């Protein structure tokens, strides 16, 4: 019998997070992290990564939309208590099983670690990406001693070179200053306006 070494964490990507149960037969509501509309299909296998680091293989039995949320039913998960055990899990697939993207598109997970430029000036490096805060994902960029949030909006993107891990943006003037700490002069003006 062939024995394969266990896959490392880096070999998996998260395609959804389990928010909680839905119904009495183990169904769960998820938050998808995939833009591919047909990413989830009956019969597909996913790996459920629990918060404690344990991993469990699951097979998707059926799925449906309920009030803008996707509900999944997995084979062998047949009660509320079994469904509750999946709450908080990340649903993952092996990196090699990712859906194929159209030319010019990138996976959000691949953006982490990229250097961000505004025109030709380095802003910083992407340390995280947040979804759900608006139409565009928010890039969390380490800029000197602070982190800033930049919307990853198509209107700002000049070029994406994933082989070089570089993203060039053209941001509106003043956008990088929105999260900046107040200067001493601004603090003084703020105190005056409160009197």
In this structure, which topology does domain 108-173 adopt according to CATH?
Answer: SH3 type barrels. (2.30.30)
Q: What is the pLDDT of residue 82?
A: 95
Q: What is the pLDDT of residue 175?
A: 81
The model's pTM is: 0.56
Asked whether the predicted pLDDT for residue 193 surpasses 80, the reply is: no
CATH architecture of the domain covering 9-96 = Beta Barrel (2.40)
Q: What is the pLDDT of residue 97?
A: 75
Per-residue pLDDT tens over the stretch 83-121: 999 999 999 888 777 766 666 666 677 888 999 999 889
* CATH 2.40.30.60 residue ranges for the chain: 9-96
First CA to last CA across the chain, in angstroms?
79
For strand 90-94 and strand 115-118, is the pairing parallel, antiparallel, or unpaired?
Answer: unpaired
Q: What is the pLDDT of residue 54?
A: 93
Cβ neighbors of 91 (< 8 A, separation 6 or more) are: 14, 15, 16, 17, 18, 30, 46, 47, 48, 49, 58
């Amino acid at each position: 019998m062939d024995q394969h070494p266990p896959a490392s964490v880096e070999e998996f990507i998260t395609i959804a997070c389990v928010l909680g149960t839905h119904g009495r037969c183990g169904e769960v509501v998820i938050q998808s992290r995939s833009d591919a509309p047909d990413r989830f299909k009956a019969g597909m296998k996913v790996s459920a990564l629990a918060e404690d680091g344990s991993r469990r293989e699951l097979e998707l039995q059926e799925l449906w939309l309920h009030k803008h949320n996707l509900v999944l039913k997995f084979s062998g998960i047949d009660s509320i208590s079994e469904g509750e055990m999946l709450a908080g899990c990340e649903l993952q697939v092996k990196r090699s099983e990712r859906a194929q993207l159209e030319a010019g598109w990138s996976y959000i997970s691949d953006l982490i670690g990229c250097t961000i430029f505004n025109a030709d000036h380095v802003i910083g490096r992407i340390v995280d990406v947040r979804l759900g805060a608006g139409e565009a994902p928010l890039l969390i960029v380490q800029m000197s001693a602070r982190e800033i949030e930049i919307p990853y909006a198509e209107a700002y993107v000049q070029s994406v070179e994933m082989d070089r891990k570089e993203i060039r943006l053209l941001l509106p003037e003043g956008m990088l200053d929105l999260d900046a700490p107040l200067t001493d002069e601004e603090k003084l003006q703020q105190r005056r306006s409160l009197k």
